[in-house]
Amino acid sequence: MKYKNFPMVPKVVFGRGCFSQLDEILMPKRKSDEAPFIFLVDDVFENDNWILSRIPLLFNDQIIFIPTDEEPKTDQVDALVEKIRQDATQMPSGIIGIGGGTVMDIAKAVSIMLTSQGSSADYQGWDLVKNEAIYHVGIPTISGTGAEVSRTTVLTGPDKKLGINSDYTPFDQVVLDPELTKGVPKDQWFYTGMDCYIHCIESLNGTYLNAFSQSYGEKAQELCDEVFYNGNLTTEEAQDKLMMASWHGGMSIAYSQVGVAHAMSYGLSYLLGTKHGIGNCIVFDHLEGFYPEGVAQFKKMKEKHGIVLPTGLCANLTDADFDTMINVSMGMDPLWENACGKNWKDTITPEKLRSLYEKM
Ligand code: NAD
Ligand code: ZN
């Protein structure tokens, strides 16, 4: 057995209002007045002075607003890298991503590609990055994905949706300020929060489980239960706890794997563009055969918060469409192996997946 040796985020600051310390966090990392910081900011904050006024712009620093109606694409990353190279006379001092999983993943990918040749599509996979990325900082404004702590950045490329998994992907610094999540719309809060809950269920019920993953997964699940179901929390407590749940959920899967909901939602995302959080919820709602207790609890949380998931996504799909989704999903070997064991192909057949997709 060869064990994985993973890097972790080396610096993290947590606390309500700690975003205001960004200035002092970045100052020692500024290489020169010609080496700007590039702030990639979710465009939902385009007119949000509460956030923008605390971005410590100096010299040639730039804010680039990032649309988040679609998940990150390799050509989008390549275009950003090209623009940053053209605008700056020197390599930037760092990339700072302020937003949800979408913006954090783009920030990670851009920081890698600024020191690597070719297209980001060339690096989708495991350990293909050979050069250290430039300094990069993640500042989540919505909690759940665990992208702030993970070793991957998930990109959709010309022929696959796959992460750049590498030792250079994790952030050098993360700023966890739960106050930044205050404006998240309720449905989105639920979908992205449930991404974390589903990470826990898939990790804790997987064959890859070990004490490392279990310790983080159990804590994250406990926090999710408090936030979404049985805790009598103030808004502030709920924001704080969900931010830490996301962190622990991400840590849990770092040393294990996700499972059936993620494998199937990748299929939906690839064919229909369904976004990660809501896609996982749509799939997970039908997985009582795999995760009976987790799904029962999910349905209770859904009901408690009055969340109505879309239906009929697959109602008008052709046989070829179903085959595409099934192929994408069944291509995620490690996820299925984690969920169902080494002999997963004995039970997970195209027919089985089709019958599940038909319910969605
Ligand atoms: P997101 O980043 O797409 O954001 C969802 C929506 O919430 C957007 O409309 C955004 O504008 C809005 N939003 C975010 N913060 C807000 C705030 N404070 N106030 C108001 N609106 C706000 O959603 P997400 O669920 O965080 O991320 C999904 C992405 O994360 C997917 O692309 C997925 O592939 C990726 N992901 C990555 C990892 C990883 O380990 N790298 C893990 C899971 C998911
Ligand atoms: Zn996820």
- Asked if pLDDT for residue 306 goes beyond 90, the answer is yes
Please state, in angstroms and rounded to a whole number, the distance separating the CA atoms of residues 36 and 116: 19
The residue among 152, 181, 210 that closes a domain is: 181
Question: What is the atom index within ligand 1 of the atom nearest the CA of 151?
Answer: 40
The residue among 181, 198, 219 that closes a domain is: 181
Parallel, antiparallel or unpaired: strands 62-66 and 37-42: parallel
Q: Give the pLDDT confidence of 336-356 residue by residue, as tens digits.
A: 999 999 999 999 999 999 999
| 242 part of a folded domain | yes
Q: b/e per residue, 117-141, with b = 16+ CB within 10 A?
A: eebbbebbeeeebeeebbbbbbbbb
Parallel, antiparallel or unpaired: strands 161-165 and 154-156: antiparallel
| pLDDT-derived band at 4, boundaries 50, 70, 90 | confident
Residue with CA nearest ligand 1 atom 24: 101
| 53 part of a folded domain | yes
Report pLDDT for 49: 98
| pLDDT-derived band at 116, boundaries 50, 70, 90 | very high
Q: Give the pLDDT confidence of 173-191 residue by residue, as tens digits.
A: 999 999 999 999 999 999 9
Q: Give the pLDDT confidence of 35-87 residue by residue, as tens digits.
A: 999 999 999 999 999 999 999 999 999 999 999 999 999 999 999 999 999 99
The verdict on 211 and 177 lying in the same domain is: no
What separation in Å is there between the alpha carbon of 100 and the centre of ligand 1? 3
Nearest ligand, measured from the Cα of 141: 1
- 282-to-41, 70, 139, 305, 318 alpha-carbon distances in Å: 28, 18, 27, 16, 20
Which residues on adjacent β-strands are paired with residue 163? 154
Report pLDDT for 158: 86
| Domain range enclosing 105 | 11-181
Length of the chain: 360
The residue among 181, 208, 235 that closes a domain is: 181
Q: Give the pLDDT confidence of 5-45 residue by residue, as tens digits.
A: 999 999 999 999 999 999 999 999 999 999 999 999 999 99
Of 143, 139, 172, 174, nearest to 51 (Cα)?
Answer: 139
| Between 159 and 239, the higher pLDDT residue | 239
Report pLDDT for 64: 98
The verdict on 113 and 215 lying in the same domain is: no
Q: Average pLDDT of 112-121?
A: 98
Domain count, the chain: 2
State the average pLDDT for the chain: 97
Instruction: Name every protein residue with a CB atom under 6 angstroms from any ligand 1 atom.
Output: 42, 44, 68, 71-72, 99-103, 105, 141-142, 144-147, 150, 152-154, 180-181, 183-184, 188, 192, 195, 276-277
- Asked if pLDDT for residue 159 goes beyond 90, the answer is no
Q: Average pLDDT of 129-140?
A: 98
The verdict on 247 and 313 lying in the same domain is: yes
Please state, in angstroms and rounded to a whole number, the distance separating the CA atoms of residues 34 and 190: 42
Nearest ligand, measured from the Cα of 192: 1
Q: Strand 11-14: give its sheet, edge to edge.
A: 11-14, 173-176, 136-140, 94-99, 37-42, 62-66
- Asked if pLDDT for residue 223 goes beyond 90, the answer is yes
Q: Give the pLDDT confidence of 198-210 residue by residue, as tens digits.
A: 999 999 999 999 9
Q: Report the CATH number that the domain containing residue 290 is assigned in CATH.
A: 1.20.1090.10
| pLDDT-derived band at 224, boundaries 50, 70, 90 | very high
Q: Give the pLDDT confidence of 231-277 residue by residue, as tens digits.
A: 899 999 999 999 999 999 999 999 999 999 999 999 999 999 999 99
The H or E element containing residue 98 is strand 94-99
Q: Report the CATH number that the domain containing residue 81 is assigned in CATH.
A: 3.40.50.1970
| 4 part of a folded domain | no
- Asked if pLDDT for residue 160 goes beyond 90, the answer is no
Residue with CA nearest ligand 1 atom 27: 101
Please state, in angstroms and rounded to a whole number, the distance separating the CA atoms of residues 28 and 14: 19
By the 8 A CB rule, do 254 and 311 touch? no
The verdict on 53 and 197 lying in the same domain is: no
* Candidate from 198, 276, 280 with most ligand 1 atoms within 8 A of CB, to mutate: 276
